[in-house]
């Protein structure tokens, strides 16, 4: 999902390799759009780079908590968008809201698939 149009509503956030952007269980206050660099979703051992939105699921979780730890594999330049602004844009832009819903469902399905043993794997 190209969310470059979100950049005017964000503030820059810079992280070093090894920094934790968010930890599982933390209270979610913002989402982050990765402008450059690579991050790892630790629990599922998946790497994502430029153009990835992270932290959005926690903003909509009933308990408001993060469900993944996101750690920087490299130096990362991110665009941080606070919850209140994110929520405002969600309601103002139906296309964004629909694409965001699609992204969240796809990410949750991918997380579930990655955490399941491979079909035919020995038990």
Closest Cα to residue 8, out of 37, 39, 30, 33?
33
23 in a structural domain: yes
CA distances from 82 to 56, 88, 113, 118 (A): 10, 10, 29, 37
Model confidence at 123, pLDDT cuts 50, 70, 90, reads very low
Other CB atoms within a 10 A radius of the CB of residue 65 amount to 13
91 in a structural domain: yes
pLDDT at 79: 94
pLDDT at 115: 55
120 in a structural domain: no
pLDDT at 61: 87
Domain count, the chain: 1
Percent of the chain with pLDDT over 70: 86
Strands, DSSP E only, in the chain? Answer: 11-15, 20-22, 30-36, 39-41, 46-48, 53-54, 70-72, 76-82
pLDDT at 119: 52
What's the CATH code of the domain at 67?
2.60.120.10
pLDDT by residue (tens digit) across 2-52?
A: 667 778 889 999 999 999 999 999 999 999 999 999 999 999 899 999 988
Domain holding 103, by residue range, is: 4-114
């Amino acid at each position: 999902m190209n969310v470059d149009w979100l950049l005017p509503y964000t503030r820059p956030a810079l992280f070093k390799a090894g920094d934790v952007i968010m930890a599982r269980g933390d209270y979610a206050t913002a989402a982050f759009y990765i402008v450059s660099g690579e991050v790892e979703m630790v629990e599922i051992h998946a790497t994502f780079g430029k153009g990835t939105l992270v932290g959005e699921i926690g903003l909509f979780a009933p308990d408001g908590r993060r469900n993944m730890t996101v750690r920087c594999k490299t130096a990362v330049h991110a665009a941080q968008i606070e919850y209140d602004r994110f929520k405002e844009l969600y309601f103002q832009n139906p296309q964004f809201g629909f694409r965001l819903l699609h992204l969240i469902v796809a990410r949750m399905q991918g997380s579930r698939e990655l955490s399941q043993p491979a079909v035919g794997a020995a038990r």
